[in-house]
Chains A and B, each alone.
Chain A
Amino acid sequence: MSSPEVVFAGTNGGTLTRLEDYEAVGGLGALRRARAMSPDEVIEELNASGLRGRGGAFFPTGRKWSFVPKPDQVPKPHYLVVNADESEPGTFKDREIMLRVPLRFLEGCLIAAHAIESKHVFVYIRGEYEREFEVLVDALEQLRARDLLGDVTIVVHRGAGAYICGEETALLESLEGKRGQPRTKPPFPAIAGLYASPTAVNNVESIATVPPILELGGAEYATLGVENSTGTRVFSLSGNVVRPGNYELPHGFPLRDLINEVGGGIAGGHTLKAVIPGGSSTPILTAAEVERATLDFDSLTALGTAIGSAAVIVLDDRCCMVQLGVRVSQFYEHESCGKCTPCRVGTRWLTQILQKIEGGRGTQGDLDLLLDVAERINGKCLCPLGDSDAIAVVSYVDKFREEFQAHVDGGGCPLHGGSSLDGVLAPVEVHERHVHAHGLGRIHTPLEVLA
């Protein structure tokens, strides 16, 4: 399957970590071009490319940059903050971008800084990415040694393990040295972001796509992909496929082909049951829906889900949907920052009702209660984290209702211990056990409190 590589262009499946090698394939040409252009001309090129954010929200990048006021309008330092916190379950693309094309990524940072007239770039990288941090720092040193940074400083700042810091305002709080809790919007970061100054926050892949856009020209880039979803995307394919991995493909690529041709099909002679198409926050697709889906904004939106972080999680026939709900909900419960009640309390409720159903103790009323709690979370949270849990869980119930019903009717899992998620031990459970063991008090379940 020949498909154009843009982000990984010139790598030949390997890495481009040395400046000479990167320049040998045309690296830094885009930076020179950009620096000869005015900031507005760079933004125009981005607008023409149709590039939309690769972090999850799919917001047009050029438009985001145009919201940052000009320095004479707001005479404060301007900041570019790159979101390298990559923590959405299923997503592992930014990591590979930083490892394989760190210089293209940094070149993108410098172009973006030029476009928003910023002299200060912060790259917020998740703390677990130790090697990626080292590779970035090394690439940065190479650029510095050749005086290519100009008057721009780039600081690589390490996170310390908190999914919520991927949310842009929580990230800014964290970068300011506070607990990573989201801010209310407005004001938006473009107006009052880092240190209350004008700030653009962009994802690693968005930024790494900027140099190729300037090389190709925005209009040419826009010929890749499909309407409303131009260009290529690095898809993280994981789960029960023969060849999981990151694959750069044009938007609009059929989901079925990603699984069967690129990914080699379902592993171990099993059959496809469901796919989570854009990271664990996005609603699930049934095998039948997978047949119709293409990997772009419009197709996935029409199917009631989202392209999100382009993390495609493939689940085979052994996956119990109630257990999936438990595990996904445990994640959001664990990562809730605690700032607002529907999320802090609601995610815990969802987990525990699901655990009750999964354990065969659920009643018809619990199934109704589950959906009721989800409704009380969705749309009532300060940031999308709480909503994500509710939306994901409701999608499992909607699409696999009979499986939830079977748990209630049959007093347990119809897969009888044969589920691929059997026995999974989430960090929240380990934490609770620890709290118990140290006599730090009993954490009552909401269901117990009610009883």
Chain B
Amino acid sequence: MATDTFYDRVQELRAEYPDPRSAVMPALQLAQAEHGGWLSEEAFREVADALDVTPAFCLSIASFYDMFRLERPGRHMIEVCSNVSCAVRGAQQVVRAFERELGLETGGTSDDGEFTLRTVECIGGCGWATVVAVNNRHRLNVQAADVPGIVEELRREQP
């Protein structure tokens, strides 16, 4: 049943565009959201079937864009901006604080599968440095001292 719904929703996306190929990205986004934040082989197959393209074509698209994940991430994705405007205001300290708090190296996922920590390029909040995207929602003006509270809040959140 779940796949039926997915198929139908992809057809709706497809109808928005003159060419079905344009719906590949939106369909991959939908698939990623429905498959726990990453694109498994199965997810690629579903998208491919719904749009009459090959899974390999879908992979060639997904691999080009940073926001598609080809490996299973932690339940919470923490992304700290490390571009210039955030860096000159202490983004490094925020990254170190997350590493300490989570016992993780940047780029890694915690053993319990709860957290992935990454740095990212500018996410368009440079005037509110440091910007941290937590599960794609932007936290602004984050300082190292705020980090334990953020982690605590996420740990308390029920799956």
From known contacts A128-B67, A157-B26, A334-B121, infer whether A311 and B88 are also in contact, taking CB-CB under 8 Å. Answer: no
Give the residue of A86, A177, A180 whose beta carbon is less than 8 angstroms from that of B23.
Answer: A177
Q: Are B18 and A177 in contact (CB under 8 A)?
A: no
Residue of B nearest to A246 (CB): B127
Given contacts A177-B19, A245-B127, contact A240 B89 (CB under 8 A): yes
Q: Which of A7-15, A19-27, A360-368, A420-428 contacts B (4 or more CB under 8 A)?
A: A420-428
User: Which chain A residue shows the least CB distance to B120?
Assistant: A427
A244 touches B87 (CB 8 A): no
Cα of A425 to Cα of B107 in the assembled complex, Å: 10
Contact B124 A160 (CB under 8 A): no
Q: How far apart are A93's CB and chain B's nearest CB, in angstroms?
A: 9
The answer to whether the Cβ of A238 comes within 8 Å of any Cβ in the partner chain is yes
Contact in complex: A331, B127 (CB < 8 Å): no
A180 and B96 alpha carbons, distance in the complex (Å): 33
List of A residues within 8 angstroms of B17 by Cβ: 155
Are B18 and A195 in contact, with the CB atoms below 8 A?
yes
In the complex, whether B157 has a CB less than 8 A from a CB of chain A is no
Known: A244-B129, A327-B84, A430-B107. A160 touches B66 (CB 8 A): yes
Q: Provide the bound-state CA to CA distance between A276 and B141, in Å.
A: 21
Within 8 A of A (CB), among B3-28: 16-26, 28
Give the CA-CA distance A130 to B137 in the complex, in Å: 7
By CB atoms of chain B within 10 A, which of A92, A276, A420, A423 has the most?
A92
> A404-427 vs B: 1/0 string, CB under 8 Å?
000000000000000011111111
Interface string of B15-56 (1 = CB under 8 A from A): 011111111111011000000000000000000000000000
**Nearest CB to that of B23 among chain A residues?**
A177
Q: Does A159 contact B (CB under 8 A)?
A: yes
Q: Are A236 and B126 in contact (CB under 8 A)?
A: yes
**A177 nearest CB neighbor, chain B only:** B21
- Which of B23, B89, B126 interacts with A89 by CB under 8 Å? B126
Interface string of A308-322 (1 = CB under 8 A from B): 000101011011000
- Taking CB atoms, residues of chain B closer than 8 Å to A261 are none
CB 8 Å contact bits of A245-270 with B (1 = contact, 0 = none): 11000000000000000000000000
- Indicate if B132 sits at the interface (CB-CB under 8 A): no
> Which residues of chain B come closer than 8 Å to A159, judged between CB atoms?
25, 65
Alpha-carbon gap, A15 to B102, bound state (A): 37
Q: What residues of A have a CB within 8 angstroms of the CB of B126 in the complex?
A: 89-92, 236, 238-239, 244, 311, 313
Closest 7 CB pairs of A and B: A161-B66, A177-B21, A160-B65, A161-B67, A238-B126, A238-B85, A244-B127
Q: List 20 A-B contacts (CB under 8 A).
A: A86-B124, A88-B122, A89-B121, A92-B124, A126-B124, A127-B65, A127-B67, A128-B67, A159-B25, A160-B29, A160-B65, A162-B65, A176-B19, A179-B64, A237-B127, A239-B84, A246-B127, A315-B84, A331-B121, A421-B87
Q: Chain B residues in contact with chain A, CB under 8 A?
A: 16-26, 28-29, 60-61, 64-68, 82-85, 87-89, 91-92, 95-96, 105-107, 118-129, 133, 136-138
Q: Which residues of A pack against B, CB within 8 Å?
A: 77, 86-92, 94-95, 120, 126-131, 155, 157-163, 174-180, 195, 236-240, 244-246, 276, 280, 311, 313, 315-316, 318-319, 324, 327-328, 331, 334-335, 337, 420-427, 430-431, 433-434
